[in-house]
Chains A and B, each alone.
Chain A
Amino acid sequence: MIKVALALLVATATATSAADISCLKCHEKENALYAPSAHAQAGLTCLDCHGGDPKATDVTAHATDNFKRPDNKKAIAELCASCHGDVRRMNPYGLPTDQLDRYKTSKHGEQLFAQNDQKVAVCIDCHGVHDILKVKSPQAHVYPTNIPQTCGRCHGDVKLMQEYKLPTDIITQYKSSYHAYMVFEKGDLSAPTCVTCHGSHGATPPGTAQVGQVCGKCHVRQRELFEKSPHAEAAAAGLFNECVSCHGNHGIQKASVELFAKTCVQCHAKDPKQLQLRDDIAGLIRRAQDGCSNAVTVVHDATVRGLATDDEELLLQEAKTQVTQLEAMQHLLAVDQLQPVVKRSDEIVKLTLADVADLERIERWKRHALTPIWAFLALMAIIFWAKRRQLEQGRKP
């Protein structure tokens, strides 16, 4: 029984590693990259992509009809799709099978398949060749934190991008953005990288008409309110590039009230009515933000001092919700709709501050206890002192 098991074990090992061993004779470097890859973990060998003769131990291994060394990017895309487009093969791994179809709709794919442009990115340019790792592996070229670097290999290449008349500072811009701050500083992998807005396999720059939809995938409420604003009409008429006109794109910064001063004048510099509306909206937001921020400081100080601020912290959460709501609601450009929210925020802040003032009043009230305490202690001390003096006098001869 043991002999049979051992024989089976040896036979299995021989069968699966034979191809590798013959390829390895010359391709040690490739194997070092391949060993930790997702394909190696799935049990694929060199033969699965390259074919060839697994028994040959020299260059004759390449001399077979089925040997492949794709030197054409179209062939590479099709070779990858021969497995990754096969539903039956991809099902166990839960992977989609429409990558090639999506790729063909991308700018990369269009250039490759329509114009046979061999300089555009294909599967291996982003995922790697032998060293392809699972997307969720932090070392993968397509892991969220590595995406800007992966895209930047081509889109930061001045010589290459000149041919397509594309800018090369977009990666630098992105790295200075709030989105990048969220990804790299805060470790929020759900924050956008290149592929979140442009797509991955179907990578294409969103046109003016689609920008709002792209941003609206995450900023749902802002998009919804923008659609109801006068700006939506201007955007539909092509006068206005939705989100991008005010917020920018790759180098997008955290939106603040200061944005009003910088952006509104781009279109409304000579329109005092619109500038007044801008000032009204900015004033309301600033009022709510300052009120909330002041309350946060007051409550924090009280908490640090050891006062019971649980209820006030809950109130603050409500005030913060109002401010967050306000920041989204300003896309409506309707002062009358912002005012009730600001009023509610003001009320909560007022209530919070009044509560903290009550807590502080109790603290001050405690200090009044010092007077009776000291009076009692002084009385006791006088009694002790007097008694002691009486005893001392009694002891004197």
Chain B
Amino acid sequence: MNLPPRIRTWLAERLDIGVAEKFADGQLHKPLPAETGFWHTFGSLSLFLFLNQVVTGILLMIYYRPTTNTAFESVRFIMTKAHFGWLIRGLHAWGATLMILCVLIHMMRTFFMGAYKKPRELTWVFGVFIFGCTVTFGFTGYLLPWNQLSYWATTVGTEITGAIPLVGQYLKVLLRGGEGVTGETLARFYVLHVVVLPWVLTMLIVTHLFLMRVQGLATFERVGEEKPIDKSHGIPFFPHHVLKEGVVFCALIGLLVTLILLWPIELGEKADPFVTPEGIKPEWYFLPTYQLLKYFPKTLGLFVSLIPQLLLLLWAFLDRSPERHPKKRPIAVSIGIAALLLAIVFGLLGHFSERDITFRGRHYHIDIYGVPHRLSEQPKH
């Protein structure tokens, strides 16, 4: 690391910077496996988006007021009066969506490349927790604008907690701060969103990164047969891999700005507990679970929806095959593809359910289970 001589001297007189320099150099120039490609950049992209969420979140907190009388108005102020408030909110809201997408792609890459296998099971477990934490961020943050969609989506979302046997009702009241979604809920979600979750996620990310750095990136070599990567064959993290990440970062920033400008985040209408709007749907990342819950009675549905999450968490311990290359793991890869397809199908069913659509000149009503029913006349809405 090349520090300006005067600063280096100043620091050297006070600290043993040799150790820090050695550590920084080691990390910076650590060789990565030769198969490290663009798919490996999604972890860094997730981290970058997390930092984006922290910075834009702090800026939003300057004007945001978490009470039922002021939350919606303060968001409106941010969007219409505060300088570049619309941009900051756009970066935060679209950044959240992209962060969940990047974390998901990063997890899929890890899964299909068998990177979760021994000795990296704990890294995987921490990764699953990071995913859970990111989704919880999305859930708690969705309520904060206090508009109709956020209010009713939270009402439906928190209602599910009540289905947990024995403690469900207690948990629901604890989460909401009462029987209904009120100012108490807003305060709780705000504290979770801006105080609790950021620290929890920071700790999880630090641990995840630490494990990843200590164990190094996985190769396609079989479990127990991995060879150390020497500097002549590996790709240096800096500047080679960082430059590759730079290319992807440019695309990500472009995508983020495009989304903000072409599909700006709406303000919506202020939450009204007495008026339930039609077609309340959760955010896209909750749609598969939302749809799955419809096919089962309340409590059973909750347990069924927990199965994929538990499988995800324990997968690193359940898959005992030493192979990493996807071509040599047909069963695991098939399960992964089937799970992905199921999530997409359930997500699409959730998206189109309870809607009237027109397809090839014919009108249909899609019921709550996603089954289309032919309509005799054109839907009014």
B215-250: CB near A (< 8 Å → 1, else 0) gives: 000000000000000000000000110011011001
A306 interfacial by beta-carbon distance below 8 Å: yes
Out of B76, B79, B261, name the residue touching A370 (CB < 8 Å).
B261
Interface flag for B197 (CB, 8 Å): no
Q: Does A21 interact with chain B (Cβ within 8 Å)?
A: no
Cross-chain contact B250 with A380 (CB below 8 angstroms)? yes
Residue in chain B with minimal CB distance to A392: B240
Q: Does B86 contact A (CB under 8 A)?
A: yes
B268, A378: Cβ atoms under 8 Å?
A: no
Stretch at the interface among B112-120, B156-164, B251-259, B297-305: B251-259
For B147, the closest partner residue in chain A by CB is A304
Cβ-defined partner of A306 (8 Å) among B79, B243, B246: B79
Q: Which residues of A contact B265 (CB under 8 A)?
A: 306
| Per-residue interface assignment for chain A, residues 357 to 390, with 1 indicating a CB less than 8 Å from any chain B CB and 0 otherwise | 0000001001101100110011011001101100
Verify if A307 is at the interface (C-beta below 8 Å from B): yes
Are B243 and A377 in contact, CB atoms less than 8 angstroms apart? no
In contact, B243 and A387 (Cβ under 8 angstroms): yes
Is the C-beta of A303 less than 8 angstroms from some C-beta in chain B?
yes
Q: A209 at the A/B interface (Cβ < 8 Å)?
A: no
B261→A369 contact, CB < 8 A: yes
Chain B residues in 8 Å Cβ range of A305: 264, 266-267
Check if A13 is an interface residue, CB within 8 A of chain B. Answer: no
Chain A contact residue count (CB 8 A cutoff): 26
Chain A residues, Cβ within 8 Å of B262:
367, 370
Q: Is B283 engaged at the interface, CB distance under 8 Å to the other chain?
A: no
B244 neighbours in A (Cβ, 8 Å):
384, 388
Complex Cα distance, B266 from A225, in Å, reads 45
Interface bits B273-311 vs A (CB < 8 Å: 1, else 0): 000000000000000000000000000000000000000
Q: Assess whether A63 is interfacial by the CB under 8 Å rule.
A: no
A234 to chain B: which residues have CB within 8 Å? Answer: none
CB distance from B146 to the nearest CB of A (A): 14
- Give the residues in chain A near B266, CB-CB below 8 Å: 304-306
Q: Taking beta carbons and an 8 Å cutoff, which residues of B are in contact with A?
A: 76, 79-81, 86, 239-240, 243-244, 246-247, 250-251, 253-254, 257-258, 261-262, 264-269
The 9 closest A-B pairs by CB, nearest first: A308-B80, A306-B267, A384-B246, A388-B243, A381-B250, A306-B79, A377-B250, A377-B254, A381-B247
20 contacts between A and B (CB under 8 A): A304-B268, A304-B269, A306-B79, A306-B265, A306-B266, A308-B81, A310-B80, A370-B257, A370-B262, A378-B250, A381-B247, A384-B243, A384-B244, A385-B243, A385-B247, A387-B239, A388-B243, A391-B239, A392-B240, A395-B240
